[in-house]
Amino acid sequence: MTRLGPVIVFLLLAGACSSPLTATPTPLPPTDTPIPSATASQVPTPTKTPVPPELAQQVEGFYRAILLIQANAEVVAEAAARVEAGELDSAQAEQILTAASLIADGVDRIIPEVALPDELSAAWDQALQAHAETRDLLGRWSGEEIAPADVVREMEAVRQRAEDAVQVGEAMIARVFGSDASELAASREEWLSIMVDEVFEPTVAAMDCGEIAPQQAGAGGTGLVAFVSDRDGNPEIYVIQADGSAPARLTDEPAGDFHPAWSPDGRRIAFYSERDGNAEIYVMHADGSAVTRLTDHPQDDFDPAWSPDGTSIAFHSHRTGAARIFVMDADGSGVTRLTDPPNDDWSPDWSPDGTQIVFNSSRGDNRDIWVMDADGSGMANQTHHPADDWWPAWSPDGEHIAFHSDRDGNFEIYMMTLTGGQVTRLTDDPANDYDASWSPDGSRIAFTSDRGGNLEICVMNIDGSGLMNLTNHPARDWASAWQH
């Protein structure tokens, strides 16, 4: 089994960061994509001199994209070399090919968003050629149309083309922004070396959530928990009993399926999927049947959340530029935009009475938890904290909001009263804990953790006690949602 967590680092850094080049890049997840370790390798910072924000963002987007392209070329070439040398078996090779395909998909998503000065157009064209060639070799290798030895041979020219593009870009950055091109290249080489090592590093499953086994926790609650896992090669929606038994896959698509959300009656699951070329909202029966596409827009739609009465679904979308909160009827009709900030709004969740929506926003100086009325009025910042607060989840009694934050150095689960006046830290671990989901009775919280070096679903009491693993698998499990 190979370690695919770093793949998400690249996707996040390439697609989600919008900080200026004068700041150290930070992984900022726009969706339920797994959060990387706080110690994971980061893209080198390309400049030391302050520059106009618009130009800085253009060059940052370009630089991250070409680094992602070079990283993917290195991963594919290294995978082929290791298969040829007998260091990877077929299952491990398939995992790596899946990882490389995810990176390639990430590049495809950000290509339309890259704006760059004329000086970088030649380097960009060269990088795009390398990306197209890498994707072509991936497809041929996956389809068994080409042997690993031939992939190794053909990837040499592709790797060189990708590196040449990066070097041209670094030279331009050095000239315009006062950087040292050699220092930047050295940082990049170190980053690529660490990245390749991490992608191929073996992982082992471990029961690392904490204190007790599911059976000792009174089965950890009742009902089903939906979650995302790549245990069958790519992200799919699964369900598992709240005692950790009987996991079952609901979706089976070559593209990724993400962020399950139960309807109030527990009979349907909304989710977003890339199966039709970009992220769209879908709904299916609780057994995975009758999949129906609800949105159809060239821009991405993410993170569905049902209204308590089951008549509406809130989600966030990039269809008008920055990420904004929208709401639609449960059949996909009547799409209405609720927010229109200069920056981004993500991850909505309804209050139990349906009158308000909590969401995550960067409309201030950092990422905070905000609440608004269900019609988009009455905006109020709930956290006002210099750290980043993410992915809010409203408790079933309407009295609390769970979220995760890096305010204490890494991502932990917190709970606050509605006004944000009383904030309680629920987890305390050097690893990352995030993406909280309440049990139907409000007594327990499921969340994602990488405590064992691998993403698993954990469960705890709302005071942070009674920690247990809900999942225990060598692949990654994340983004849990408890059946109502």
Q: Are residues 140 and 235 in the same domain?
A: no
* Structural domain contains residue 205: no
Question: Could you give the dihedral angle defined by the CA atoms of residues 344, 348, 351 and 354, in that order, rounded to the nearest 10 degrees?
Answer: 100
Mean pLDDT to the nearest integer, 21-48: 36
Distance CA 413, CA 434 (A): 6
pLDDT digits (tens, 9 = 90+) for 468-480: 899 988 889 999 9
Distance CA 178, CA 181 (A): 9
* Structural domain contains residue 286: yes
For residue 300, is pLDDT > 80? yes
* Structural domain contains residue 209: no
Q: Are residues 343 and 462 in the same domain?
A: yes
Q: Are residues 171 and 243 in the same domain?
A: no
Band of pLDDT at residue 210, cut at 50, 70 and 90: low
Contact residues for 189 (Cβ-Cβ < 8 A; gap 6+): none
3-state secondary structure of 320: coil
Q: Are residues 30 and 62 in the same domain?
A: yes
- Of the candidates 199, 223, 249, which is a domain's last residue? 199
pLDDT on residue 208: 67
Q: What share of the chain is helix, strand, coil (3-state, %, to 5)?
A: 30, 25, 45
- 357: CATH: 2.120.10.30
For residue 38, is pLDDT > 70? no
Q: Are residues 51 and 110 in the same domain?
A: yes
Q: Are 169 and 62 within 8 A, CB to CB?
A: yes
Among 12-21, 252-261, 337-346, the minimum mean pLDDT is found in 12-21
What are the b/e assignments for 144-182, b being 16+ CB within 10 Å?
A: eebebeebbebbeebbebbbebbbbbbbbbbebbebebe
Band of pLDDT at residue 353, cut at 50, 70 and 90: very high
Percent of the chain with pLDDT over 70: 84
DSSP state of 325: E
Mean pLDDT to the nearest integer, 264-271: 96
pLDDT on residue 207: 54
Looking at residue 335, its amino acid is V
* Structural domain contains residue 113: yes
- Of the candidates 176, 199, 222, which is a domain's last residue? 199
Nearest to 300 by CA among 78, 81, 108, 96: 108
Q: Are residues 240 and 104 in the same domain?
A: no
Among 65-74, 214-223, 225-234, 413-422, the minimum mean pLDDT is found in 214-223
**Axis crossing angle, helix 181-199 with helix 148-177, rounded to the nearest 10:** 150
Taking the mean position of all CA atoms in its chain, how far away is CA 29? Answer: 5
Structure tokens at 419: 């006004």
pLDDT on residue 425: 95
Mean pLDDT to the nearest integer, 146-154: 94
Q: Are residues 20 and 60 in the same domain?
A: yes
3-state secondary structure of 86: coil
What are the b/e assignments for 290-313, b being 16+ CB within 10 Å?
A: ebeebbeeeebbbbbbbbbeeebb
pLDDT on residue 121: 86
pLDDT on residue 19: 28
pLDDT on residue 186: 87
At residue 142, φ and ψ (nearest 5 deg) are -60, -35
Taking the mean position of all CA atoms in its chain, how far away is CA 263? Answer: 23
Nearest to 313 by CA among 299, 292, 298: 292
Band of pLDDT at residue 26, cut at 50, 70 and 90: very low
Question: Could you give the dihedral angle defined by the CA atoms of residues 375, 376, 382 and 388, in that order, rounded to the nearest 10 degrees?
Answer: 130
What are the b/e assignments for 373-410, b being 16+ CB within 10 Å?
A: ebebeebeebbebeebbbbbbbbbeeebbbbbbbbeeb
Q: Are residues 16 and 164 in the same domain?
A: yes
At residue 466, φ and ψ (nearest 5 deg) are 65, 35
- Measured CA distances, 232 to 96, 237, 338, 472 (Å): 13, 11, 37, 14
Q: Are residues 418 and 450 in the same domain?
A: yes
Higher pLDDT, 408 or 259: 259
328: left (phi over 0), alpha (psi -120 to 50) or beta: beta
Q: Are residues 85 and 152 in the same domain?
A: yes
Distance CA 6, CA 27 (A): 11
Q: Are 312 and 336 within 8 A, CB to CB?
A: no
Distance CA 294, CA 313 (A): 10
* Structural domain contains residue 333: yes
Contact residues for 153 (Cβ-Cβ < 8 A; gap 6+): none
Q: Are residues 184 and 256 in the same domain?
A: no
Q: Are residues 47 and 124 in the same domain?
A: yes
* Structural domain contains residue 380: yes
* Structural domain contains residue 436: yes
* Structural domain contains residue 35: yes
Structure tokens at 391: 């992915």
At residue 222, φ and ψ (nearest 5 deg) are -125, 165
Band of pLDDT at residue 352, cut at 50, 70 and 90: very high
Nearest to 41 by CA among 29, 63, 22, 24: 24
pLDDT on residue 181: 83
Residue written as token pair 């909505």: 348
Nearest to 283 by CA among 323, 328, 348, 322: 328
Q: Count how many domains the chain has.
A: 2
Range of the domain at 460: 214-482
Taking the mean position of all CA atoms in its chain, how far away is CA 233? Answer: 17
Q: Are 8 and 34 within 8 A, CB to CB?
A: yes
- Of the candidates 166, 199, 232, which is a domain's last residue? 199
3-state secondary structure of 360: strand
